[in-house]
Structure 1
């Protein structure tokens, strides 16, 4: 090939390479532009999805807030009628009667009131747990202490069904770190669950043991058992095993949810076991054990001497006011009843009651405002009354608000008379003031 032909061939190769480079560049440019469009579209979708998720989260939070408000109001409205019923039962206990039927009637009413109050407590606790609003008051607690409290709460139900409860506790005391009230609630709910689904005359057992560095508590029964299909979901909120229509104490399916939540807050675990329907069930709670502690010597606490006092009872529920005033009068106190805040302020100004028991949900001004005005009405030389909030609003936030308003104590309806009297008799009241 001549030099001229070689030069032409070389030029043709260079032109071909240049054209190939241009083609590749054009392909790359078009790909990048297409990709940029896809990226812009993907970014737009991401922004829209993020906004939608934020709106859903906001809607969920609003719905949860409305649910909590509804449950609190529901509890308040249901606690109000329970209060005079419990007071009526307490009155029946203090009235002598030779008819045993009245004793039976009284015990039935008491158990049903306690059952309804317990359902309300579980419902509110389930809401608080899911909202992260439960705070534990921790200390070193003896296992037998909260077990005894739980048994005391439910022995009436167990006895009424002629069931046999066996307690098997270790000879040496066991200790855990936790909230005494919540620990008693855990075991109490398991005992209540066992009693509900065990037939009359059945057997229930509670066994506590130390296993390595853990405390293991088992509650077993020979009741209706749990099906294999339901067992994995038994601790879920509102989950319930199908029961026969004859079992009227089915509840709401929240007691075991509260148990699991409270156990987990204590750093423990709970599990259920059953061989099937009709084969009974076993619930096992495992809690971290703490080493043996030196228990302080118990000093007997003398019961304060009774001091007569004037009590102003403020409640717009007429039945509740009548029943509780009768109970307090039978206990030796002078009682005046007011049905609204304005009447309460007038009555207090007239007779200067040493103790004021006040509802929160009043028709004209709420109990918080009543407490504030009562405190302001006391001059430097006046003795300030003992203020007790007695109300269906019983959340920790309600308790804090009551104390901030000037109340000394906050008690939830339906209150047991003994609990109210314990608060009253500890009041620093001069015997000469009545």
Structure 2
């Protein structure tokens, strides 16, 4: 039997069949490999196309959000100025003050929503830049408390602040850290009923600073805790949406805390049982207390101020506010008119919009910076604009502006900039130095 098999294997026909079978098998394997390679190439190309498409969509989304913010900031500016003006003039009707406060709070709320939306876009794009320095925790906590005070008071809530006896410091961006605490306070007030309580405390824990914010408000359902910091995530609510919001504030908070090397956690015993947020930040050793920039600065008298804005309501409202504050004000609607008024008025302060017809605010700033008034002193140039990205801020400073202020601006902050500019000018003059530049 074995012999017959061996003989059959040596027959020419059997050898040819086997050789043919091997060749066909090899060809099939080669064909399969070629098809697999083709599929891989197609899949790679498809993935690249999807990636490029996703980048394009993200870029378009960011551009849309930036434009949306700009378009919404412009009408908010005169509304905020009008509310501030109502607060500064003698009211005929006692209800005017209450109306002014309500308008001011709602504009501040809308501005906060815009800032959160823009920051959410920047965080997801990796475009957030921190300006770090040794910062007292009390500095940014006090600022956050002040920005939310009117909201807390309007709802008759009790806010208790507990700070340690000795100052604590972190290496951080005070503006961003104030935003973190402010967002948490705003969130706590929003979900806490009238006459509720909010407790904010700061303590040291070894090499860390621990901020704890606790309220007795609506609480968070157990199933919602896990995703509470996710972008565009909100708890289920009734159609009334009584609390509002975009679902981006806590996502921005977490991102800012993590950019500072810290962490944030949340705890709630459930619906109706309040919420507690805990922020942990790396502590740094004691540093010398900075001297307050605006300490003991005398009041500024009447300054010659030029307001440049093609939005008539925005320009007029800001001009009225400045006039009520004792300044001599002119208003220009475009760049060429602004340059003429600047030379005629010998303006000491310029508040200039960027998106002007004909000549942009950037060009206006450059040309003004090249001019001198009769006193041969540098004017204070403030860009007042709805464009507020880091690139926008860098461009305004490169165009000769001293400051970049986003609309809707806090009028008290503008007055502080003017006051500081003239105080620095007086200090330089007394010391025999040249004119002050606030940049």
With the length of structure 2 as denominator, give the TM-score of the two structures.
Answer: 0.88
CA apart distance, 1:413? 0.9
What pairs up with 1:29-40 in 2 under 5 angstroms? 29-40=23-34
Q: Distance in 2 between matches of 1:114 and 1:153?
A: 9
Can you list the C-alpha shifts for 1:145-197, whole angstroms capped at 9, x where unaligned? 22211111111111111111122333333322211111111111111111001
Question: Is the CA contact (8 Å cut-off) linking 1:304 and 1:426 kept in structure 2?
Answer: no
Q: C-alpha offsets along residues 394-426 of structure 1, whole Å, 9 cap, x if unaligned?
A: 111111111112212111111112211222233
Q: Describe the superposition over 1:58-90 as per-residue Cα deviations: whole angstroms up to 9, x where unpaired.
A: 111111111111111111111111111221222
Which residue does 1:391 correspond to in 2? 385
Distance 1:87 1:81 in 2: 10
Which residue matches 2:286? 293
Mean CA deviation greater in 199-208 or 345-354: 345-354
8 Å Cα contact 1:243/1:250 also seen in 2: no
The 3-state SS of whatever aligns with 1:57 is helix
The question of whether the paired residues in 1 share the 8 Å contact of 2:190 and 2:243 is answered with yes
Structure 1 residue ranges without an equivalent (≥5): 1-8
Distance 2:280 2:371 in 1: 54
Q: Could you say if the C-alpha distance between residues 55 and 206 of structure 1 is closer, same or farther in structure 2, counting changes exceeding 3 Å? A: same
Q: After the TM superposition, which residues 180-199 of structure 1 pair with which residues of structure 2 at under 5 Å, given as runs?
A: 180-199=174-193
Q: Which residue matches 1:371?
A: 365
Partners in 2 of 1:281 and 1:354 — Cα distance? 50
1:18–1:287 Cα change, 3 Å: farther
Query: Counterparts in 2 of 1:209-248, with a 5 A limit?
Result: 209-244=203-238, 248=242
Correspondence list, 1:246-285, <5 A: 248-285=242-279
Q: Shift of residue 213 of structure 1?
A: 2.7
Q: Identify which range, 176-185 or 115-124, moves more after superposition.
A: 176-185
Determine which of 307, 310, 335 is the counterpart of 2:329.
335
Residues 306-345 of structure 1: matches in 2 within 5 Å? 306-345=300-339
Q: Specify the SS of the correspondent of 2:283.
A: strand
Check 1:378–1:230 CA distance in 2 against 1; reply closer, same or farther (3 A cut): same
Contact 1:307 1:425 (8 Å CA) reproduced: no
Segment drifting more, 241-250 vs 13-22: 13-22
Distance 1:427 1:172, change over 3 A: closer
Closer, same or farther in 2 for the Cα pair 1:131/1:168, shift >3 Å? same
Aligned residues: 423
Say which is worse superposed, 348-357 or 68-77, in terms of deviation: 348-357
Distance of 1:139 and 1:22 partners within structure 2: 84
Aligned to 2:436: none
Instruction: Structure 2 unaligned segments of length 5 or more: list them.
Output: 430-439
Distance in 2 of aligned mates of 1:415 and 1:368: 19
| Deviation, structure 1 residue 386 | 2.6
Shift of 1:364: 2.2
CA pair 130-351 structure 1, distance change in 2 beyond 3 A: same
Q: Is the Cα–Cα contact under 8 Å of residues 169 and 287 in structure 2 kept in the other structure? A: no
CA 1:386 to 1:166, structure 2 compared with 1: closer, same or farther past 3 Å?
A: closer
2:344 aligns to what?
Answer: 350
1:265 and 1:307 mapped to 2: Cα distance?
Answer: 43
Q: Name 1:3's counterpart in structure 2.
A: none
Of stretches 416-425 and 375-384 in structure 1, the one that deviates more from structure 2 is: 375-384
Aligned with 1:240: secondary structure?
coil
In the superposition, relative to structure 1, how do residues 12 and 315 fare at CA in structure 2: closer, same or farther (>3 Å)? closer
Residue 45 of structure 2 is matched in structure 1 by 51
Q: Distance in 2 between matches of 1:187 and 1:31?
A: 70
Q: Compute the TM-score of the two structures, normalised by the length of structure 1.
A: 0.89
Structure 1 residues 378 and 131: alpha-carbon distance in aligned structure 2, compared to 1, 3 A threshold: same
Residues in 2 aligned to 1:354 and 1:170: alpha-carbon distance in whole angstroms: 44
1:80 aligns to what? 74
Contact 2:346/2:373 (CA < 8 Å) preserved in 1? Answer: no
Q: Does 153-162 or 167-176 show the bigger shift?
A: 167-176
The 3 A distance-change label for structure 1 pair 312 and 98 is closer
Residue in structure 1 matching 2:167, options 151, 159, 173: 173
For residues 67-123 of structure 1, the C-alpha deviation after alignment (integer angstroms, 9 at most, x for no partner) is 111111111111111111221222222212375422211211111111111111111
Larger radius of gyration: 1
Pairing of 1:49-198 with structure 2 (within 5 A) = 49-97=43-91, 99-198=93-192
Q: In 1, are the aligned partners of 2:77 and 2:314 still within 8 Å (CA)?
A: yes
CA distance in 1, matches of 2:20, 2:372: 91
Task: Assess, with a 3 A threshold, how the Cα gap between structure 1 residues 129 and 206 changes in structure 2: closer, same or farther.
Answer: same
